[in-house]
Structure 1
Amino acid sequence: MDELCEKVPPEEKPMDVKLAKLPSCLLVILIAVPVDVLLITAVALWKSPYMLFRGWKRLLEDLIGREGPFLETVCVPFAGLAIILWPLAVLGAVIGAIISSFFLALYSGVIVYQEDSLMKGLGYILALVSLFDEYVNDFLYLREGSCLPRPRYRKNANPKPGEDNSLKTRRENSLNAQLISQKSRTLKWEIQQYKAVQVWDWLFKACEVNGRIILRDGLISIQEIEECLLKGNCKKLSIKLPTWSVLHCLLVSAKSDSSGLVISDDVELARNNGPREKVFEWLIEPLLIMKEQIKNLKVEENEETCLKRLVIECENKRPEEWDGTGFPSNDNVRRAQLQAIIRRLQGIVASMSRFPTFRRRFRNMMKVLYVEAIQAGASASHIGVALKSKYTGKSLIESGNGEGTNETDEVVNEASDNGDVV
């Protein structure tokens, strides 16, 4: 052993294995395996009917609306087979949860060894079930969070951005966490990898900013936001608003002559620094291709403005929809190319809307836009009443200027009662 220690390079540090911690690790593992396997199995069995019926509901809606896997006629038989075999997918998910619970329970021994605390290992046993329940709720679009307790099992663990209930703090943290690559072309670039959560945060930040713009321009109305919050009819907004945001990103990227997607003033998302998850690679690669197509088309500024308006106002399923819309170009081939790009963008956004947490985060963003719009309208009404009272001599108190605020609280509270948290 002494000879082996002498052969260790000076830059490497040997790792000491403290055998005194092993008994407590084994004790926690013996407790965690039966407890976590049983509880996670119970949660999986309890949520499996939700997965079964919600999956059938989504597939049948796609079948009726000819969307998703039913978009192309040749895919209809396979999509119909997916409806029939969906119970097997649910069964496979339950079996996968049971198998993975065994390995997750074994990790409790690592927690005890790293934290040098038996209580932290026991806390991990309870927190694991709560985390699993929360992830299942996000995947099935159920109520946010979990009703199960979640004790802290790390001594110096920083709270995750998803655990912060403040939307403002979450947006600021995600903005500050963006990584900026070195701009020098003469030196070797420091390629820093972006995470999927950073791209996800950027999308909803862009949707919020662009939502204010199209709401100000009158392309969407407050009534449409109310219908989305109260009746859950967000199909138009949840597809067209992200499509508008991604199209704006593609137009800016094509103008900047960059090799990737310009997602902010000093951040560029390219092939070499994008998320390594396969799902994001499948989504980002078509966007880069469409950016090059837009670049080759050399879209003019007046065409950009009209394109953004047509994304919201038209379904973009047939070329005839653009007749009489005032699109600057009369070239039918150019129109068809731009319309095909918009259709592909809508298909990509429709796929993204199936991701866990998309629906919850989009509805929370709609609540923020709704409250801001009502407050802006109330302020404008307040100024108008004040000017009117100045010239007519009526008191401002008699105008009843608190009606807008009460209506806002009623709508937001009713939307929150439907299972969403502002």
Structure 2
Amino acid sequence: MIVPLGLWPVVAVAGSILGGIGYGVFAPLIATFQAAGQNAIDKCYHCFADGCLSTIKGSCTVVVDFTDFCFHSYFSYMDELSEKMPPDEKPMDVKLMKLPGCLLVGLIGMLVDVPLITVVTLWKSPYMLFRGWKRLFEDLIGREGPFLETVCVPFAGLAILLWPLAVVGAVVGAIIASFFLGLYGGVIVHQEDSLHMGFSYIISVVSLFDEYVNDLLYVREGSCLPRLRYRRNMDRNPEIEKVDNNCCNELESKGQASSTQLISENSRTLKWPIQQYRPMQVWDWLFKSYEVDGWILLRDGLITIKDIEECIVKGNCKKLCIRLQAWSILQCLLTSVKADASGIVIGDNAELTRSNMPRDKVFEWFAGPLFVMKEQLKKLELDESEEACLRKLVMECKNETPKDWNDFGYPSEDSVRRAQLQAIIRRLQGIVASMSRIPTFRRRFRNLVKLLYIEAIQADASVHHIGGILKARLSGQRSSGKGSKKDGYENDDAKGNKANENLDVV
């Protein structure tokens, strides 16, 4: 481990410098093209102004997100690993006998794959340089792409001059990535429990990298380099099998359907990626629902100002971060079940389905189980009382054992039904706990907590203001009342408490 630990600071510094240069150059350039394509009144001004301040803010945002990942997400993972293992789970068995083989294959993979991938990268770099120049010059002659608007021609010419810098950045990035691709051979050895699979991966990863570069540069498909089998289950792709099974079922159910109808239906499925949502759109909808649901929970007393202050001052955000998310997503699932939607209704009349959800691997890890939970809730057929009690249990109950629900008055006495619902809630809380470790999530959630705090203070101030007016009126009535002074104060206090009770109801 000495070599990767020693190279890590060098790689981090070099990657930060190259990433900063690339972002600082190309982000304003892309913003210029976007400004020229918009229906702005003064395009010349926007071509120079857009991308300046936004690039600086974006750079600061990247630094904040990276800091959150280093000081929040990492330690959150470590705390979860160090917690006591539940009795129904088994720890991962890492055998010491596997570690020498993993380290050996990782070291050999780094020594073999780094030079070979570097050679492939340097061999393909002239193709990338001349093909990029060819495409830019074709757009320049045909007045297409970035050369469509006259005001963008100087900046597009700058892109032609800076294209070699992009090629150099791609080459350096590929060389840096080759270290990690080589070290991943140790992971293959541990997963497959075979040194043979690890050495096969070392040979195959160069072929996979070459094929990926060929696809990126639009040259011939495949690779002339050898590719060995480094996984035991590499015969069939599960996605392809799923498509094949769907096609077979469709042919069986529609025996009289013509081939042209099937082709037209399959062609419509090719249009799905065009209608897919972007991950940022979904995150925006989720945080908007978090804000609305947070205000509802404040109104109902399930979240207090003290909880928000603990989150801001002490950093104890478990109730807000985990339970508020779980409550909001549970509300989306219950709404989707009531509406009999094919997907998940996430607000603004937006429905997230398997066809329009972002094709992002990380996003699929979070969204995929939610579709399963929605179907499970649909089969349970909860009534209104169970839904109301379930929302309360998400915010106030630990949901660790079936006995935790005994003191909350859950209407159903079916122990199996309770266990199923508790399993759904625990899994939902685990999903939102993983979502909270995404770097961008922590930054946006801090802003959400501050917004809720301001709204809670304003609402509390308005209540105290109305209460002060009522007390002033009651004190005016005291001066004109009859009886002893002590009795008058006691009666006035009773009236004031009654007024405050009515105010709380309002």
Query: Residues 189-241 of structure 1: CA distance to partner in whole angstroms, max 9, x if unpaired?
Result: 98521111111111111111111111111112111100101121112211111
Contact 2:323–2:429 (8 Å) recurs in 1: yes
* CA distance, structure 1, for counterparts of residue 451 and residue 85 of structure 2: 29
Cα 1:264/1:49, change in 2 over 3 Å? closer
Shift of 1:282: 2.3
Alignment of 1:110-189 (within 5 A): 114=146, 115-117=152-154
**1:40 lines up with 2:18 in the alignment:** yes
Give the paired residue count: 280
Partner SS for 1:74: coil
* CA distance, structure 1, for counterparts of residue 430 and residue 16 of structure 2: 40
Shift of 1:392: 2.8
Shift of 1:42: 9.0
Aligned to 1:74: 91
* CA distance, structure 2, for counterparts of residue 123 and residue 379 of structure 1: 58
Aligned to 1:333: 416
Partner SS for 1:263: strand
**1:207 lines up with 2:185 in the alignment:** no
Partner SS for 2:324: helix
Cα 1:77/1:225, change in 2 over 3 Å? farther
**1:346 lines up with 2:364 in the alignment:** no
Stretch deviating more after TM superposition (278-287 or 240-249): 278-287
Q: TM (normalized to structure 2)? A: 0.48
Q: TM (normalized to structure 1)? A: 0.56
For structure 2, the 5+ residue unaligned runs are 1-13, 22-62, 141-145, 147-151, 170-267, 478-506
* CA distance, structure 1, for counterparts of residue 458 and residue 67 of structure 2: 41
Counterpart residue type for residue 311 of structure 1? V
Q: CA RMSD in A?
A: 4.3
For structure 1, the 5+ residue unaligned runs are 1-35, 130-187, 395-422
Counterpart residue type for residue 194 of structure 1? Y
Contact 1:262–1:268 (8 Å) recurs in 2: yes
Shift of 1:393: 5.3
Query: Residues 224-266 of structure 1: CA distance to partner in whole angstroms, max 9, x if unpaired?
Result: 1001011211122111111001101111111111111112363
Cα 1:236/1:72, change in 2 over 3 Å? farther
**1:233 lines up with 2:233 in the alignment:** no
Contact 2:343–2:354 (8 Å) recurs in 1: yes
* CA distance, structure 2, for counterparts of residue 318 and residue 226 of structure 1: 30
* CA distance, structure 1, for counterparts of residue 16 and residue 322 of structure 2: 40
Query: Residues 128-172 of structure 1: CA distance to partner in whole angstroms, max 9, x if unpaired?
Result: x9xxxxxxxxxxxxxxxxxxxxxxxxxxxxxxxxxxxxxxxxxxx
**1:359 lines up with 2:442 in the alignment:** yes
Contact 1:111–1:120 (8 Å) recurs in 2: no
* CA distance, structure 2, for counterparts of residue 225 and residue 108 of structure 1: 52
* CA distance, structure 2, for counterparts of residue 247 and residue 383 of structure 1: 35
Query: Residues 289-336 of structure 1: CA distance to partner in whole angstroms, max 9, x if unpaired?
Result: 111110110011111011011001011111110012110101100000
Runs of at least 4 residues off by over 6 Å: 47-55, 106-113, 122-125
Partner SS for 2:345: strand
Aligned to 2:457: 374
Q: Which has the higher helix share?
A: 2
Q: Paired residue for 1:312, among 383, 395, 407?
A: 395
Cα 1:340/1:55, change in 2 over 3 Å? closer
Structure showing greater radius of gyration is 2
Contact 2:326–2:428 (8 Å) recurs in 1: yes
Partner SS for 1:117: helix
Shift of 1:38: 8.1
Aligned to 1:292: 375
* CA distance, structure 2, for counterparts of residue 50 and residue 209 of structure 1: 25
Alignment of 1:233-312 (within 5 A): 233-264=316-347, 266-312=349-395
Query: Residues 381-402 of structure 1: CA distance to partner in whole angstroms, max 9, x if unpaired?
Result: 11111232234359xxxxxxxx
Counterpart residue type for residue 432 of structure 2? V
Q: Paired residue for 1:389, among 469, 472, 486?
A: 472
Shift of 1:53: 7.0
Cα 1:56/1:373, change in 2 over 3 Å? closer
Counterpart residue type for residue 234 of structure 1? C
Counterpart residue type for residue 153 of structure 2? D
Contact 2:69–2:439 (8 Å) recurs in 1: no
Cα 1:111/1:212, change in 2 over 3 Å? farther
Q: Paired residue for 1:63, among 63, 81, 92?
A: 81
- Identical-pair percentage: 50
* CA distance, structure 1, for counterparts of residue 16 and residue 433 of structure 2: 36
